[in-house]
Each structure stands twice: as structure tokens, then as C-alpha cells.
Structure 1
Amino acid sequence: MDARGIVGWNLRRLRVERGLSQERLAFAAGIDRAYVGRVERGSENVTIATLEAMALALGVPVAELFLEPEPGAERPRPLRAGRRAKAG
């Protein structure tokens, strides 16, 4: 897996673990939602500043975005589509 693929893999994994949509992550990081999708698919060359903004929004060190997945690891699953039920 190339570096863009590793970053995309980890970005999606961390985002889903935190229950964030691409839109919420993009808003928190100050970037475009479509850009987050392209990064997750490994089709974007990301700047260090953007990586830093996304890592900050996720609450992780930038280095966590570069961890290589375990051999045979399953691709991170997407969040369930639709809005969350309102608490109450």
C-alpha cells in the first residue's frame, strides 16, 4: 500500500471510530467534505498542514495517520448512512 493509501485508510478508520461523518470532520478541520473523501480513497496528495488539521480534529498525533495496517486487515467500514436518532 502506498503512502496516500495508508493515510486514507487511517483517516477513515479514526473518523469512523469516533463516529464522525466526513462532513463533521471536514468542518472541524476547516476543509472541504469532498476533499476528505478523496483523501480517504487515496486519490489526493495531502499537505502537512492539512494532515495536522485533520489529526487535531480527530484528537490524535499526526504520526497515527501513517501507521501501516496489519497484513490482512479489513478495510475500515463506513458509518451507517442517515441521520442519528435524537436523544431524548
Structure 2
Amino acid sequence: MEGELQRIVGRNLRKARLERGYSQEAFADYMGVHRTYMGSVERGERNLTLQTLEKIADFIGVDPRRLLDEVDEQ
């Protein structure tokens, strides 16, 4: 399904951000982007570059591949 990987990355990013106690605004500030941009990433509306994915993963301390894996929420 087109765009599904973007949605998976967004869900994983939001989960990891919340687990680490970052607000969307604080996280966006660190990344040097606007909060609304981060919101659109988390909703799967933005297509990230691999470089941006690596930067985000480095900041939250996870392997970038973890953000690409679909996690069963049940």
C-alpha cells in the first residue's frame, strides 16, 4: 500500500519520542524543524530522507532500521 512505510515510521517515531518523554515541540526544536512538520511526519504525511531518518534515530538512540519495522501494538 502506497505510503504505508511513511505511516509505520511515523507511528514508531511517535512511540519512541513519547517513551523518552519528549514533547513534539521540544523534539522538533532539537531537530531544527517546526512542530507542525514533526506532526506531519508522525502522521505519515511526510516522506523523510534516509539522512533525516538516521539523524532522528541517532537522537533517540535507536537503530534506524527499528523505525522502519512494523510493531504489533496488541
Bucket of the pairwise TM-score, normalised by the shorter protein: 0.7 to 0.9
Deviation, structure 1 residue 29? 2.1
- Residue equivalent to 2:22: 20
CA contact (8 A) 1:25 1:57 kept: no
- Matches of 2:34 and 2:54 in 1, distance apart? 15
- Matches of 1:30 and 1:61 in 2, distance apart? 21
CA contact (8 A) 1:26 1:32 kept: yes
Structure 1: unaligned runs, 5 residues or longer: 75-88
Pair member with larger Rg: 1
TM-score normalised by length of structure 1:
0.73
Identity %, equivalent residues: 46
What is the CA RMSD across the aligned residues, in angstroms?
Answer: 1.5
> Relative to structure 2, which stretch is displaced further, 4-13 or 48-57?
48-57
Task: Give the count of matched residue pairs.
Answer: 72
Deviation, structure 1 residue 31? 2.4
- Residue equivalent to 1:30: 32
- Residue equivalent to 2:66: 64
- Residue equivalent to 2:10: 8
Deviation, structure 1 residue 47? 0.9
Structure 2: unaligned runs, 5 residues or longer: none
> Relative to structure 2, which stretch is displaced further, 29-38 or 5-14?
29-38
- Matches of 1:48 and 1:30 in 2, distance apart? 17
> Relative to structure 2, which stretch is displaced further, 49-58 or 35-44?
49-58
> Which runs of 4 or more aligned residues in structure 1 lie more than 6 Å from their structure 2 counterparts after TM superposition?
none
